[in-house]
Amino acid sequence: MSTTKSSDPRREDAIVPFHFPRRNEEEEDYSQMIATFISMGSIVFRHRFKMIPWIAAYFGLTGTLNSRKTFKAKDSLSNSGTFIALVSLFTYYFNLYLAHKKTMEGVANGEIVVV
C-alpha cells in the first residue's frame, strides 16, 4: 500500500475552513423594517385605523418566516419587527378592552344612559 502525499485526505494544507456566506446589500430585510414603521405609526396615532396593527403583524410574520436560517442566530434584532407588531396588536385590543370596561362601569353607575 503506497500512500503519496497528494492522495492523503488528512493533510494539513488541504483543510478548507468553513465561513458563513457574505451578506449582500441586496438581501436586506425590508418586511421587518416595514413592520416596525407601520406598528410604531399605529401606536403613535393611537390606533385610529383598525387594520394598521394587522398589516404590521403580517409584514412582521412574513419577515420572520422569510429570513435566512444562517443569519437568524447572528442577528439579535432579526425579529424586532415581529415583536413590535405584536405589541401594537396587544395595545390595540387592550385599549378596546379598557374602553369597553369603562363604558360598562359607566352604565352600571348610571353615568351613561342607554336609550
Instruction: Output the DSSP codes for 19-80.
Output: -PPPPPGGG--HHHHHHHHHHHHHHHTTT-STTHHHHHHHHHHHHHHHS-HHHHTT-TTTTH
Q: What pLDDT, in 10s, does the model give residues 66-111?
A: 776 655 555 555 567 888 888 888 988 898 888 888 888 888 888 8
Residue 29 has pLDDT above 70, yes or no: yes
pTM score:
0.60
Residue 40 is predicted with a pLDDT of 86
For the chain, which residues make up each domain, given as ranges? Answer: 29-70+77-109
74 or 31, which is more confident: 31
46: left (phi over 0), alpha (psi -120 to 50) or beta: left
Weakest-pLDDT range from 8-17, 56-65, 80-89: 8-17
115 secondary structure, DSSP code? -
